[in-house]
Amino acid sequence: MRRVGRLILFLAVFILLAVLCVVGGMRFGLLPGAGGGGAAGGPAPEEAPPVPMVEVVILAQPAKRGQRITEDMLALVEVPEDAKVPTMLENIEDAVGKLAARDLPQGIFLTQGDLVESAAALFEGAGSIAAAQIPPGYVAISIPISRLTSVSYAIQPGDRVGILVSLPFVDLDQDFQTVLPNMSAGIIGNAVWVGTAEGAGVMSGETLQTFVQQVTSAGNNPVGRSETEGEFNLYAVPAEPQRPRLVTQLIIPDARVLHVGDFLERQPQVTPEPAEGEQPANPPAEEQQPQPAANPPAAPDVVTLIVTPQDAVTIKYLLDRQMVLTLVLRGADDTATLETEAVTLTYLLDEYRLVIPAKEPFDVMPRVDTVAWPDEFHYAPPPTPTPQP
């Protein structure tokens, strides 16, 4: 009997749990027929109202700053009306013929600020393109170049270069700041003794004044010195003006090339297309005369470098002293600090084991006094312009 009572109690609990599950499922809409908005018997959900759409202009092709926008570069796409920005363009005609105010990527929604009417508007308040490429703390400066001083025109914007210079040194009289040796003069009574490369003599009066004027106008007329050769007292006079002593050094090891040539932008000549029904300005191809090939572009004569302000001052000084600056091209991945030794005649003799030729009683013909360079390698700095009155 006890076992039968337990079985009845177990069945009663099971039935109670089943009833509670059915009631709860109907209450929360988990079973068909419930009032919770199920698939059978519940009200259908309301449809959302349609979102209004508008067309806006996008750029189908990338455009560079200053590039003129054409119709084939544009497209129309739909966007929700509430997502449209007031400055977005809605008509393709509003963009055709204008210039890109900056570099524009493909797929961008065009706005009024992305386009300008003319090239002059590109620089209003924005500065030049060149200035935007100069990092803070640096400046740009231009130097003249030739085929020989620019690595045969291989240098291009973005390259890194070094700058070589050769300086000719001469001895000066520190007080006069003139090239040595000086002219000499001495007072003997009422006359003045004057020594020059042409000799020495005693003069007075008008003769002395005329001679001094001739010596002064002749330029550098150095005096000599007394020398003793055996029993003879000689007066040695220089055979030529003082020879400069040359030294060459890499003064700026790392500079960035900003531009090669002038920054002037020359627009290509465009022939307008004839209107409908209008005869073309040019005759048909079979009637046209063969045109000569276009002239190749002129070689650049100037390069603009990005350097530190102190390096710019150094370059300015050397240019004012009419020194020739030679560029050396560095490797694209070379980031090492370049260190060089100044080169003089003594350095060449010591470092490369050069010997001074002995004086021999014979020679070969023809006589060669100097090693001539080809004319195309002769480089002279541009003349200083004369101020106009």
Give pLDDT tens digits for 288-328: 555 555 667 789 999 999 999 999 999 999 999 999 999 99
Q: Are residues 248 and 318 in the same domain?
A: yes
Cβ contact 99:68 at 8 Å:
yes
Residue 48 lies in a domain: no
Domain membership of residue 12 (yes or no) is no
Dump pLDDT digits (tens) for 65-92: 888 999 999 999 988 888 888 888 999 9
Domain that holds residue 347: 139-168+244-264+298-377
Q: Are residues 212 and 334 in the same domain?
A: no
How many domains, in total, are found in the chain? Answer: 3
Residues 157 and 253 in one domain: yes
Q: Say yes or no: 86 and 117 in one domain.
A: yes
193 in the same domain as 100: no
Q: Are strands 245-260 and 302-307 parallel, antiparallel or unpaired?
A: antiparallel
Is the residue at 285 inside a domain? no
Calculated CA dihedral for residues 46, 47, 48, 49, nearest 10 degrees? -110
Q: How many CA atoms lie within 13 A of 223 on its CB side?
A: 14
Residue 274 lies in a domain: no
Please indicate, yes or no, if residue 77 is contained in any of the structural domains: yes
Please indicate, yes or no, whether residues 101 and 193 belong to a single structural domain of this protein.
no
Q: How confident is the model at residue 225 (pLDDT cuts 50, 70, 90)?
A: confident
Quick one: 156 and 249 in the same domain?
Answer: yes
Instruction: Tell whether 306 is covered by a domain.
Output: yes
Question: Which residues are CB-neighbours of 164 under 8 A, at least 6 positions away?
Answer: 248, 249, 250, 251, 325, 326, 327, 328
pLDDT at 124: 66
Give the pLDDT score at 264: 78
Looking at the fold, whether 204 and 259 belong to one and the same domain comes out as no
Task: Please check whether residues 256 and 347 belong to one and the same domain.
Answer: yes
Neighbours of 365 (CB within 10 A): 5
Co-location of 257 and 341 in the same domain: yes
Q: Is the pTM of this model over 0.75?
A: no
Supply 188's token pair: 């003997």
Does some domain include residue 308? yes
Classify 290 as helix, strand or coil.
coil
Residue 19 confidence (pLDDT): 67
Instruction: Give the three-state DSSP class for 13.
Output: helix
User: Could you tell me if 156 and 191 lie in one domain?
Assistant: no
SS3 call for 243: coil
Instruction: Give the integer Cα–Cα distance in Å for 345 and 169.
Output: 13
At 227-253, the pLDDT tens digits run: 777 777 777 777 788 899 999 999 999
Are 183 and 229 in a shared domain?
yes
Task: Give the integer Cα–Cα distance in Å for 298 and 348.
Answer: 38
Report the CATH number at residue 107. 3.90.1210.10
